[in-house]
Amino acid sequence: MTLQTQQHPEISSVNHLNRQIIVILDFGSQYSELIARRIRETQVYSEVLSYRTTAEQLRQLNPKGIILSGGPSSVYDSGAPHCDPEIWNLGVPILGVCYGMQLMAQQLGGEVERSQQAEYGKASLMIDDPTDLLTNVEDATTMWMSHGDSVTRLPEGFETLAHTDNTPCAAIADHERKLYGVQFHPEVVHSLGGQALIRNFVYHICDCEPTWTTAAFVEESIREIRAKVGEKRVLLALSGGVDSSTLAFLLHRAIGDQLTCMFIDQGFMRKLEPERLVKLFQEQFHIHVEYVNARERFLAAIEGITDPEEKRKRIGHEFIRVFESESKRLGPFDYLAQGTLYPDVIESADTNVDPKTGERVAVKIKSHHNVGGLPKDLRFKLVEPLRKLFKDEVRKVGLSIGLPEEIVKRQPFPGPGLAIRILGEVTSDRLNILRDADFIVRQEINRSGMYGELWQAFAVLLPIRSVGVMGDQRTYAYPIVLRLVTSEDGMTADWAKVPYELLETISNRIVNEVKGVNRVVYDITSKPPGTIEWE
């Protein structure tokens, strides 16, 4: 994947011979990342950069097009974010979305004012010019609005392409200069003609070809990994999740036995998972994994701890200590491979650069554990081939290079594992109870055929006991909470309306097969106000 340049660490270098790029300048919109995803769905590479990116930096990237995102500000406010006005002279097609359209109008001589009537939610788009940007977008189609300001006077050379009942200038264009603006958000699913509009901009206006494919990414990544690493050794902390597993496959294909995978078993994995992971990688995939059994260390580290944040902190610190000692035992290593994904890059402004070499170095480990920083004296150069991919793109890459579906489609699992699905103190007995209950939940969800329909399905153990009766005998045992949710991205979630028969089967099996449990309850709380995980 592309590596960061030393001159402008926030700008990626792009192989212009092999890749076209659409740049999104981010003005603080909650949808900037979504715009990038929609562009990539057209099989054209896109990247989100700060609105502070200069015209000269953009010229070096040689983008096929630029999109200005929405944002929470008003363009006429003091301190509102503005882009470099020289971008209008780059000769590159530009699309302004919401705030981006208003900024375009203002900087090019138009006027933007507070609307008499704000417009939020669905609106019917009446098309005045069905060509160019709005080709194949149906008249009166639904688009998603979210604005309190409007363009009240167009800049010279612009014309109106579409309007709504409340917004006279809902889409505008300077066809000669290939400058376009839309007041709505074509990137959200509520905008029914949104993807057609985006395809028009990408293909017809920016003249892009659909070259951003999984096969092209794999080929380019292998070439770049080999060029970067040479004959040096690479260390990867393997979790068994889709990110680290895909990364392991990709690295092994590129550098073979120069890769060392380390799996730290902290004792909080689900039933049979550690054994299954090591056997799968070593016997079926022929990728060597250094298995580190640290179960007793981790359990001792959180003994008596009930606060969830303290649990996470202690697990994180212990992971660092184990990782440090084991990497020294197995090393030396020149490179640390991390499964950093593009959302991590967008959200994090941290770029740690070695002043001598210009290489990014690790003062953090971004693994499935979310464990915080590695010691500053434990310095590796980073290999992050997935850092330009979104999660769904990683899954596609994983499938294309032979990763089995059981890993590719694995539901999200928290880094601290079952330790944060046991409320209160974590003990060996409670871990065993939860493992057995969770195993039944996963078995029955798989048998029902609903695994792929759920974002997450798991069990939670509460640190309380209730009275029950089994075989005419009084019991005093733990309750298990079932948490089954549906979601698109984990940011919001709803409890799953699964068949009662499925809940009944899970409940009957748990209370009959798991010693220490006499009650099963179902969590019907959405996110928000609740969270998906209980801790």
Residues 6+ apart with CB under 8 A from 63: 21, 22, 23, 92
Residues 6+ apart with CB under 8 A from 26: 32, 48, 49, 50, 51, 69, 346
- Based on C-alpha coordinates, what's the Rg of the chain? 26
Going by C-alpha positions, the residue among 235, 238, 231, 302 that lies closest to residue 264 is: 238
Which three-class secondary structure state does DSSP give residue 481?
strand
Residues 6+ apart with CB under 8 A from 119: 145, 146, 147, 164, 166, 167, 183
Q: What are the CA-CA distances from residue 292 to residues 161, 296, 319, 499 (Å)? A: 62, 11, 11, 41
Catalytic residue chosen out of the listed positions 163, 185, 368, 369:
185
DSSP secondary structure code for residue 161 in this structure: E
- CA pair distance 197, 132, nearest whole angstrom: 9
- CA pair distance 221, 213, nearest whole angstrom: 12
Which three-class secondary structure state does DSSP give residue 483?
strand
In this structure, the number of other CB atoms found within 10 A of the CB of residue 57 comes to 18
Beta bridge partners of 466: 477
Q: What are the CA-CA distances from residue 470 to residues 41, 342, 410, 475, 477 (Å)? A: 55, 52, 36, 7, 11
Catalytic residue chosen out of the listed positions 33, 47, 83, 98:
98
For the record, the structure tokens of 288 come out as 């060597």
Catalytic residue chosen out of the listed positions 119, 187, 393, 444:
187
DSSP secondary structure code for residue 353 in this structure: B
Amino acid letter for position 407: I
CA 134 to chain centre: 30
To the query of whether residue 98 is one of the catalytic residues in this protein, the response is: yes
Sign of CA dihedral 249, 250, 253, 256: negative
Alpha helices in 284-408 (DSSP H): 295-301, 308-330, 342-347, 391-400, 405-408
Cα of first residue to Cα of last residue in the chain, in angstroms, is 35
- CA pair distance 11, 60, nearest whole angstrom: 10
Which three-class secondary structure state does DSSP give residue 296?
helix
455-532-347-91 Cα dihedral, nearest 10 degrees: 40
Active site residues: 98, 185, 187
